[in-house]
A and B are shown apart, each in its own frame.
Chain A
Amino acid sequence: DTAVSQTPKYLVTQMGNDKSIKCEQNLGHDTMYWYKQDSKKFLKIMFSYNNKELIINETVPNRFSPKSPDKAHLNLHINSLELGDSAVYFCASSQKSGGSEQYFGPGTRLTVT
Chain B
Amino acid sequence: SQQGEEDPQALSIQEGENATMNCSYKTSINNLQWYRQNSGRGLVHLILIRSNEREKHSGRLRVTLDTSKKSSSLLITASRAADTASYFCAPTTTGTASKLTFGTGTRLQVML
Residues of A within 8 A of B (CB): 4, 33, 40-45, 48, 50, 55-56, 90, 92, 97-99, 101-107
Other A-B pairs, 19, CB within 8 Å; known A33-B99, A56-B97, A101-B33: A42-B104, A43-B43, A43-B88, A44-B101, A45-B100, A48-B97, A55-B97, A90-B42, A92-B43, A97-B97, A98-B94, A98-B97, A98-B98, A99-B30, A99-B93, A101-B45, A102-B100, A104-B44, A105-B42
CA distance A45 to B99 in the complex (A): 8
Task: Using A40-B104, A42-B104 as known contacts, say yes or no to A98 and B96 having CB atoms under 8 A apart.
Answer: yes
Contacts A/B (CB < 8 Å), 22 sampled: A41-B86, A41-B104, A43-B88, A45-B99, A48-B97, A56-B99, A92-B42, A97-B96, A98-B96, A98-B98, A99-B31, A99-B92, A99-B95, A99-B98, A101-B45, A104-B43, A104-B44, A105-B42, A106-B41, A107-B40, A107-B41, A107-B42
A-B contact count (CB 8 A): 60
**Distance (Å) between the CB of B38 and the closest chain A CB?**
11
B19 to chain A, nearest CB (A): 18
Q: Is A98 touching B95 in the complex (CB atoms < 8 A)?
A: yes
Check B98–A97 contact: CB distance below 8 A: yes
* Bound-complex Cα distance A98 to B29 (A): 12
**Which residues of B lie under 8 Å from residue A48 when comparing CB positions?**
97, 99
Q: Cα distance A32–B58 when bound, in Å?
A: 26
Q: A50–B104 Cα gap in the complex (Å)?
A: 27
Q: How far is the CA of A40 from the CA of B48 in the complex (A)?
A: 25
